Amino acid sequence: MNRVVIIDTGIANTASVCACFTRLGCDVMVTDDPAAVRDAEFVVLPGVGRFGAGMRALQSRGFDRVIVERYEQGLPLLGICLGLQLLCTSSTESEGVAGLGLIDASVTEFPCEVRTPQHGWNRVGDGYAYYSNSYRIESIPAGWSGELSDHGGPFVAYLQRGATLACQFHPELSGAWGERLLVSWLKRSQEVSRC
């Protein structure tokens, strides 16, 4: 059974993420202990809220260092919504606040002429995913693979690199398609981590 540890930042809604991985047959734990994250088989960084508040929450608990260490070691990591954005270098939502810098990209607001937040379903590759976001990455950064969606122009739906998957949408709320993506991440991460 896969053991999935979900980071409790104090600002994220973890209930839907827990429920999804439980449905997938995983052993799920929510923790605010960086040591539990460091030693975990799979780690999820969920996110709801503002970039600056998210980074402060990670730094105040020491999660920022642990997440970077896991990424550098090639250990399985999943970022969801704000969790993806926190992996980036910065965001115009919180000027002057540095992100974790694992993804060489800045997060920017959708153009003012489109509805924000983008709230609902949008196409991603061969399926549809559920979004709730006002900020996005505009293009896939060098060294990453991924898929785009469109909302007032193309933007990053998700990114993959090694055992890391970062989704702007909420895979746990994206029905069977989202669950298939998560199962693929679990399997792919185990294969990559063994190499």
Question: Is 81 one of the annotated active-site residues of the chain?
Answer: yes
Active site residue 172: yes
For 28, what's the count of Cα atoms within 13 Å in the CB-facing half-sphere?
A: 18
Catalytic residue, chosen from 20, 93, 167, 172, is: 172
Residue among 81, 88, 93, 147 flagged as catalytic:
81
119 a catalytic residue: no
User: In whole angstroms, what is the distance from residue 6 CA to residue 137 CA?
Assistant: 24
Strands (E), 77-126: 77-80, 88-91, 103-109, 118-124
Considering 26, 88, 147, 170, which one is annotated as catalytic? 170
The dihedral sign for the CA sequence 38, 144, 148, 24: negative
- Alpha helices, H only, 42-174: 51-61, 63-72, 82-86
Q: Report d(CA 96, CA 164) in Å as an integer.
A: 26
The structure tokens listed for 193 are 């981590």
What residues are labeled active site?
A: 81, 170, 172
